[in-house]
């Protein structure tokens, strides 16, 4: 149910986007909506991050995954159990760049006393790494459309990405990894009853959305003869605030379908689970140093509570305490 | 092909089917997890069931085969001693694995019949797989004998189950005792006013 | 009627009436089934009254009507809103989960029992679904499609059932790519339930006891003197040494705070005796306190406010007695509180000094703000400086393994100190498999206020992963003792081992240290602190004269 609705939604959105190819619609789908989407995306992201950052962190609660820093002769594990800001940054870097916690699942195990095998869990890490890193590189590659002249680093990245030199135009490695990673993440969600049980429409929709964007992008590059000059003109126009109606009309329906899905993605991510990429930086169990006993953490909303003070305690038990030889304050 | 040989031939398929049946007594999501991970420490339930079903089947197969060879060559002393030999090692291992599984199922929200009932599923697995291979059941006598062996193991499982449940109540009592027994004993020794004894936190 | 040897006879699926059907409905539509053996009895009215908690009444889990207070729904939603604005952890953990499933098979209750709602992700979704419905636009518009659902009385019952099936052990949080910590979610959920007067008695009675008497077990000051005196007697019987018994002693250098379980419960008492012996031998100027007579803090399993209310007495007593620093005993959740909460809640402890070992002169800089150190840190330092005379061969009959307790491992990271000490006092130390120790350690199944006996089945299910690993080293290395530095472990793992790995005893680390230590003026050691004969040394006849309190 959740799967079908999500698939239908993405399909519908794509078709809606192809309307941009219709005469006169270029202005809406090629200019108005992209600006709107970027606005919602950036605004939404700021709002989302602020909605977290504005909430205080009352206690310092890192999850420690290695030896603490205590006695000087005991080797501590600063990247798994950071003791100061710098090592906490190191831990975050491992987490953000290499998904350290997901990688924890890769463990060699001895099965049935003899055989050494690896659990199947590393696949999640591999799939996630392939998808996320390719996505980043694909984003950077697209800068060649938005910028004129193209920065050298983008050109370099593009060349490196196409090093296999298969196909014409060259098929990028990241394109393949991106689609393969997505396909794995989707297949995994569909195949495992356990995951199907916990998955919501909000888990399938982004997967289909990314797939839609990826496939339409691949299509644009490799199957349809896209008018790349017009596309570049539209894109550069967007970044430079100068628009050319001829280029907008010539860009083609498929291009608008692709662009519209990107717009949807931009507008959707701050309000969905995709915002996890910003959330991970703020996670108190990961970004805090385990310096609890050496540096006092202050709770900004601390308030006095009702306690049972010592004198009340002694008042209740004074005679018994004296009888048992426990020293008391008041005789 | 004899019944025993047929069993041996289809052993893997039968055990797989039986294990699936046994795992399906857990909810779908859990049985998938129990089935997937092969790590005995990360997934003790699935591991124990996997090992137990395989060992029980092996034991039954050995019995069936030795039984057949006995009846075929009842005069031969050699085969008889052979049979007893192989029977002597297998059951001990099997009891141990059976115990592991029943011990787990005794604390997993199953009724008694659910906890030990998975054993009977073997009968069904055998029939289904044999039917798929030879078309019909041509070995009624052997099947009945096989069933009786399965029943015997189920009975044994039931004994273990009851034992575990009794152990459970025993552990409850022991734990409550451990909380205060030492102090109470000391108080008794000294004849302390019982009012001073720490209040039980129940 | 088919005969038993015919195929058709067996095709009756209902032969054994096995419930093989998985829930056909999604988890939201699968109603909670409150099973005896899994739930814990509700908190009694008298305990709630002692603590001024709302809606005190007597009720039972089996009742249809849980007597929720008027306007309960509003109370819960306001409580959620309040906490969403106070705890970034809570707000973030409600938003960022992507349901990747990495945590699903990491929970000991799920591994041992298979109830899908014991997957950490689903446990959190129980709360998250309400959050979406009431606090997010998507949830309000799309409803169930966005994973949102209505808050009903059944949801409250489900919360009560499942958030009291979480031991706040944080194992799932180790594997989560966003560090989502189910312990944090459980703590908040329990706070929300508390607003309606829904507590379990096994945690709220200890809390009430601790508030009034200073410890969970309701040991009054004179009762505590008694048990400590009994220990002095047993120590003398075992070693021939009469140790002193400083209680509420003003001007002592060190305040010793330990879980109250070690004052009365077997085998914790031997750990306590061992520590008294150690302090005596080294001539440490320390004191017990009857007022701060529990380092453990069941407030952690109740609410953040309750942690603070119970923990306040530790610094207050340190100040009253004028000690220089605080030493903490072997306890698990106590160390989560001391390490991660105490200083923030009841500090700053500017009236104390940075802990400094009077024996070695080591300054424990890593505790320079909280001014409290763990006894294993203290002992490791002593052993490193050769200040303890040890004869590990006295423990040669023991083949020991070490269970990392959840909180010291995952909320503190004290992994090497206990191992260093164990290796110094035992010649036979064996580790359990790697994915069951250190930061990946498995819970005993009885933490976070679940260590009672009415839920024994559930505890044993939850203890299966741990018990299974113990069984493994028992078979492989002949392990016969399990060391753990946690009072709850010392109570619950005894039962877990008795069921899953019978023959393995549970011990504190200090107990092993004292049994290996050569004390000045000790008799010829034939008995350990449990007053059992030490194998290999019992050939001589036991001397009658040593026994004192006959």
Q: Among A109, A192, A194, whose Cβ lies nearest the Cβ of B39?
A: A109
* Residue C433 confidence (pLDDT): 87
* Residue C511 confidence (pLDDT): 95
Q: Which residues of A touch B97 (CB under 8 A)?
A: none
C265 within domain boundaries: yes
Average pLDDT over residues C421-435: 94
Q: Does C491 touch chain A (CB under 8 A)?
A: no
Among B121, B169, A111, B106, which Cα is nearest to C113's? B106
Cα C287 to Cα C284: distance, rounded to the nearest angstrom: 9
Interface probe, candidates A110, A194, A321, A323, chain B, greatest B C-beta count within 10 A: A194
Report DSSP state, residue C359. Answer: T
**C-alpha distances out from residue A330 to A310, A326, C290, C317, Å:** 12, 12, 16, 16
C282 within domain boundaries: yes
3-class DSSP string for C266-295: CCHHHHHHHHHHHHHHHCCCEEECCCCCCC
* Residue B49 confidence (pLDDT): 87
Whether residue C53 is predicted with pLDDT greater than 60 in this model: the reply is: yes
Cβ B158 vs Cβ B116: under 8 Å: yes
Structural domain boundaries in chain A? 2-60+94-268
Whether residue C434 is predicted with pLDDT greater than 70 in this model: the reply is: yes
Q: Does C153 touch chain B (CB under 8 A)?
A: no
Q: How confident is the model at residue A102 (pLDDT cuts 50, 70, 90)?
A: confident
Residues 6+ apart with CB under 8 A from B160: B98, B99, B102, B103, B106
Whether residue C257 is predicted with pLDDT greater than 60 in this model: the reply is: yes
Whether residue C388 is predicted with pLDDT greater than 90 in this model: the reply is: yes
Lowest mean pLDDT among A259-263, C4-8, C251-255: C4-8
Is C174's CB within 8 Å of A101's CB?
yes
Q: Does B103 touch chain C (CB under 8 A)?
A: yes
C1 within domain boundaries: no
Q: What domain range includes position C140?
A: 27-199
pLDDT digits (tens, 9 = 90+) for A41-95: 999 999 999 999 999 999 999 999 999 999 999 999 999 999 999 999 999 999 9
Cα A214 to Cα A238: distance, rounded to the nearest angstrom: 21
Whether residue A106 is predicted with pLDDT greater than 70 in this model: the reply is: no
Cα C460 to Cα C452: distance, rounded to the nearest angstrom: 11
Among C327, C274, C243, C239, which Cα is nearest to C507's? C274
Q: Are residues C300 and C375 in the same domain?
A: yes
Please give the interface size between B and C, counted as residue pairs whose CB atoms are below 8 Å apart.
Answer: 178
Cα C300 to Cα B132: distance, rounded to the nearest angstrom: 59
Q: Among A104, A292, A320, whose Cβ lies nearest the Cβ of C340?
A: A292
Which DSSP helix (H) or strand (E) runs through C484?
Answer: strand C481-484
Neighbours of C427 (CB within 10 A): 14
Lowest mean pLDDT among A35-39, A134-138, C4-8, C125-129: C4-8
Q: Among A117, A119, A194, whose Cβ lies nearest the Cβ of B33?
A: A194
* Residue C542 confidence (pLDDT): 46
Total domains, chain C: 2
Q: Which CATH class is domain A2-60+94-268?
A: mainly alpha
Q: Among A5, A66, A124, whose Cβ lies nearest the Cβ of C100?
A: A124
Among C159, C205, C128, which Cα is nearest to C66's? C159
By CA distance, what is A197's nearest residue in B? B29
Interface probe, candidates A197, A198, A199, A325, chain B, greatest B C-beta count within 10 A: A197
Cα C292 to Cα C337: distance, rounded to the nearest angstrom: 14
B81 within domain boundaries: yes
B192 within domain boundaries: no
User: Among B42-46, B144-148, C316-320, which range has the highest average pLDDT?
Assistant: C316-320
Q: Give the E-state strand segments of C377-430 in sequence order.
A: 400-403, 429-430
What dihedral angle (degrees, nearest 10) is formed by the CA atoms of A99, A104, A108, A113? -160
Q: Does C226 touch chain A (CB under 8 A)?
A: yes
Neighbours of B171 (CB within 10 A): 19
Q: How confident is the model at residue B72 (pLDDT cuts 50, 70, 90)?
A: low
Radius of gyration of chain C (CA): 25
Cβ C369 vs Cβ C347: under 8 Å: yes
Interface probe, candidates C173, C294, C364, C366, chain A, greatest A C-beta count within 10 A: C366
Q: Among A51, A56, A69, whose Cβ lies nearest the Cβ of C366?
A: A69
pLDDT digits (tens, 9 = 90+) for C336-359: 999 999 999 998 999 999 999 999
Cα C69 to Cα C65: distance, rounded to the nearest angstrom: 11
Angle at alpha carbon of residue A102, lines to A96 and A108, rounded to 5°: 135
Phi-psi region of C55 (alpha: psi -120 to 50; beta: other; left: phi over 0): left
Q: What domain range includes position B133?
A: 3-183
Q: Are residues C289 and C431 in the same domain?
A: yes
B165 within domain boundaries: yes
* Residue A259 confidence (pLDDT): 92
Neighbours of C295 (CB within 10 A): 27
* Residue B143 confidence (pLDDT): 84
Cα A57 to Cα A53: distance, rounded to the nearest angstrom: 9
Q: Which residues of C touch B137 (CB under 8 A)?
A: 5-7
Is B38's CB within 8 Å of A194's CB?
no
Residues 6+ apart with CB under 8 A from A5: A201, C145
Of C199, C234, C260, the position where a domain reaches its end is: C199
B191 within domain boundaries: no
DSSP class per residue in B82-148: HHHHHHHHHHHHHHHHHHHHHHHHTTTT--HHHHHHGGGHHHHHHHHHHHHHHSS---HHHHHHHHH
Whether residue A282 is predicted with pLDDT greater than 80 in this model: the reply is: yes
What dihedral angle (degrees, nearest 10) is formed by the CA atoms of C230, C235, C236, C241? -130
* Residue B82 confidence (pLDDT): 47
Q: Are residues C177 and C216 in the same domain?
A: no
The SS3 call for residue A190 is helix
Total domains, chain B: 1
By CA distance, what is B194's nearest residue in C? C223
Average pLDDT over residues C125-139: 94
The SS3 call for residue C525 is coil
Is B41's CB within 8 Å of C433's CB?
yes
Sign, CA dihedral C287-C293-C296-C299, equals negative
pLDDT digits (tens, 9 = 90+) for C510-540: 999 999 999 998 888 888 899 888 887 765 5
Percentage of chain C surpassing pLDDT 70? Answer: 93
Average pLDDT over residues B131-147: 74
User: What is the b/e burial string over C162-172, where b = at least 16 CB atoms within 10 angstroms of the residue's CB?
Assistant: bbbbbbbbbbb
Q: Are residues C194 and C236 in the same domain?
A: no
Q: Which residues of A touch C27 (CB under 8 A)?
A: 197-198
pLDDT digits (tens, 9 = 90+) for B101-123: 999 999 988 888 888 988 998 98
Q: Are residues C108 and C31 in the same domain?
A: yes
Lowest mean pLDDT among A5-14, B138-147, C256-265: B138-147
Lowest mean pLDDT among A48-57, A170-179, B193-202, C218-227: B193-202
Cα C21 to Cα B27: distance, rounded to the nearest angstrom: 7
* Residue B71 confidence (pLDDT): 60
Claim: this prediction has a pTM higher than 0.80: yes
Cα C79 to Cα C195: distance, rounded to the nearest angstrom: 8
Q: How confident is the model at residue A171 (pLDDT cuts 50, 70, 90)?
A: confident
* Residue A163 confidence (pLDDT): 80
Among C435, C424, C431, C507, which Cα is nearest to C465's? C435
By CA distance, what is A191's nearest residue in B? B32
* Residue A118 confidence (pLDDT): 39
Q: How confident is the model at residue C19 (pLDDT cuts 50, 70, 90)?
A: very low
Q: Are residues C227 and C195 in the same domain?
A: no
Q: Does C384 touch chain A (CB under 8 A)?
A: yes
C383 within domain boundaries: yes
Q: Does C403 touch chain A (CB under 8 A)?
A: no
Provide the pairing of β-strand A115-118 with A108-111.
antiparallel
């Amino acid at each position: 149910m959740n799967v079908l609705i999500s698939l239908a939604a993405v399909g519908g959105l794509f078709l809606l986007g192809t309307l941009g190819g219709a005469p006169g619609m270029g202005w809406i789908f090629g200019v108005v909506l992209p600006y709107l989407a970027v606005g919602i995306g950036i605004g939404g992201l700021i709002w989302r991050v602020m909605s977290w950052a504005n909430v205080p962190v009352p206690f310092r609660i890192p999850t420690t995954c290695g030896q603490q820093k205590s006695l000087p002769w005991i080797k501590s594990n600063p990247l798994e159990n950071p003791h100061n800001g710098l090592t906490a940054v190191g831990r975050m870097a491992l987490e953000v760049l290499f998904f350290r916690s997901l990688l924890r699942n890769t463990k060699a195990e001895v099965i049935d006393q003899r055989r050494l095998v690896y659990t199947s869990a590393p696949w999640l890490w591999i799939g996630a790494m392939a998808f996320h890193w390719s996505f980043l590189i694909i984003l950077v590659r697209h800068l060649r459309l938005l910028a004129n002249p193209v920065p050298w680093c983008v050109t370099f990245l593009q060349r490196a990405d196409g090093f296999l030199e298969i196909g014409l135009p060259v098929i990028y490695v990241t394109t393949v990894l991106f689609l393969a990673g997505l396909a794995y993440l989707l297949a995994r969600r569909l195949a495992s009853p356990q995951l199907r049980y916990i998955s919501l429409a909000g888990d399938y929709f982004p997967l289909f959305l990314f797939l839609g964007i990826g496939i339409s992008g691949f299509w644009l590059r490799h199957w349809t003869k896209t008018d790349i000059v017009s596309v570049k003109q539209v894109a550069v126009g967007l970044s430079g605030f100068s628009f050319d109606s001829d280029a907008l009309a010539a860009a083609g329906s498929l291009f608008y379908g692709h662009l519209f899905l990107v717009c949807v993605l931009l507008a959707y991510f701050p309000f969905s689970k995709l915002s996890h990429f910003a959330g991970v930086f703020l996670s108190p169990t990961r970004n805090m140093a385990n310096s609890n006993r050496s540096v006092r953490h202050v709770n900004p909303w601390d308030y006095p509570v009702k306690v049972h003070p010592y004198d009340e305690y002694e008042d209740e038990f004074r005679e018994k305490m004296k009888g048992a030889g426990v020293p008391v304050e008041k005789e | 092909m004899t019944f025993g040989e047929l069993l041996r031939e289809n052993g893997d398929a039968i055990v797989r089917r039986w294990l699936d049946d046994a795992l399906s007594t857990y909810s779908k999501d859990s049985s998938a997890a129990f089935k997937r991970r092969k790590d005995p420490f990360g997934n003790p339930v699935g591991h124990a069931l996997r090992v137990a079903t395989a060992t029980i089947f092996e034991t039954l197969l050995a019995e069936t085969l030795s039984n057949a060879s006995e009846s075929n060559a009842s005069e031969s002393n050699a085969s008889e001693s052979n049979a007893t030999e192989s029977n002597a090692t297998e059951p001990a291992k099997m009891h141990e694995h059976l115990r592991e599984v029943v011990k787990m199922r005794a604390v997993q929200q199953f009724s008694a019949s659910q906890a030990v009932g998975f054993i009977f599923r073997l009968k069904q697995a055998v029939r289904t797989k044999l039917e798929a291979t030879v078309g019909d059941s041509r070995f009624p006598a052997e099947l009945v004998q096989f069933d009786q062996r399965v029943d015997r193991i189920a009975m044994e499982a039931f004994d273990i189950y009851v034992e575990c449940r009794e152990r459970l109540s025993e552990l409850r009592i022991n734990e409550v005792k451990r909380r205060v027994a030492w102090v109470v004993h000391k108080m008794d020794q000294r004849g302390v006013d019982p009012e001073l004894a720490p209040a039980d936190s129940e | 009627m088919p005969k038993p040897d015919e195929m058709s006879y067996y095709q009756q699926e209902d032969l054994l009436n096995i419930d093989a059907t998985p829930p056909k409905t999604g988890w939201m539509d699968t109603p909670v089934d409150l099973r005896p053996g899994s739930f814990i009895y509700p908190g009694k009215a008298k305990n709630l009254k002692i603590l001024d908690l709302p809606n005190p009444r007597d009720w039972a889990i089996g009742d249809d009507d849980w007597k929720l207070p008027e306007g309960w729904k509003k109370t819960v939603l306001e409580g959620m809103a309040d906490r969403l604005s106070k705890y970034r952890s809570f707000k973030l953990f409600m938003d960022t989960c992507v349901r990747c499933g990495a945590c699903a098979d990491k929970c000991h209750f799920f591994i041992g029992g298979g109830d899908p709602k014991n997957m950490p992700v689903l446990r959190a979704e129980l709360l998250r679904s309400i959050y979406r419905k009431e606090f997010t636009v998507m949830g309000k518009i799309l409803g169930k499609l966005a994973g949102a659902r209505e808050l009903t009385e059944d949801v409250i019952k489900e919360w009560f059932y499942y958030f009291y099936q979480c031991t706040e052990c944080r194992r799932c949080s180790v594997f989560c790519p966003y560090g989502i910590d189910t312990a944090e979610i459980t703590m908040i959920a329990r706070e929300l339930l508390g607003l309606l007067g829904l507590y379990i008695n096994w945690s709220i009675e200890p809390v009430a006891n601790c508030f009034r008497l200073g410890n969970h077990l309701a040991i009054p000051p004179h009762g505590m003197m008694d048990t400590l005196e009994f220990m002095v007697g047993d120590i003398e019987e075992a070693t021939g040494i009469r140790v002193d018994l400083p209680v509420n002693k003003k001007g002592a250098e060190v305040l010793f705070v330990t879980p109250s379980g070690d004052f009365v419960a077997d085998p914790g008492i031997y750990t306590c005796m061992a520590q008294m012996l150690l302090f005596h031998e080294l001539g440490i100027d320390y004191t017990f306190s009857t007022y701060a007579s529990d380092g453990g803090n069941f407030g952690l399993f109740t609410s953040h406010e309750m942690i603070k209310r119970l923990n306040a007495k530790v610094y207050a007593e340190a100040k009253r007695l004028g000690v220089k620093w605080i030493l903490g005993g072997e306890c698990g959740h106590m160390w989560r509180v001391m390490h991660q909460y105490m200083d923030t809640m009841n500090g700053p402890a500017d009236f104390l000094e940075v802990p400094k070992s009077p024996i070695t002169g080591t300054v424990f800089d890593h505790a320079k703000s909280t001014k409290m150190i763990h006894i294993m840190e203290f002992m490791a330092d002593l052993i490193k400086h050769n200040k303890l005379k040890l004869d590990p061969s006295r423990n040669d009959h023991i083949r020991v393994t070490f269970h990392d307790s959840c909180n010291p491992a995952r909320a503190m990271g004290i992994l090497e100190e206990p191992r260093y000490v164990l290796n110094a006092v035992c010649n036979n130390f064996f580790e359990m498999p790697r994915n069951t120790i250190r930061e990946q350690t498995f819970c005993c199944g009885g933490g976070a206020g679940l260590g009672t006996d009415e839920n024994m089945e559930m505890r044993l299910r939850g203890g299966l992963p741990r018990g299974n690993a113990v069984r493994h080293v028992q078979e492989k290395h002949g392990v016969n003792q399990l060391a753990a530095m946690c009072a709850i472990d010392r109570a619950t793992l005894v039962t877990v081992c008795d069921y899953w790995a019978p023959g393995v005893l549970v011990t504190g680390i200090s107990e092993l240290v004292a049994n290996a230590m050569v004390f000045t003026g000790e008799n010829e050691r034939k008995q350990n602190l449990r007053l059992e004969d030490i194998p290999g040394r019992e050939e001589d006849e036991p001397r009658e004269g040593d026994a004192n309190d006959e």
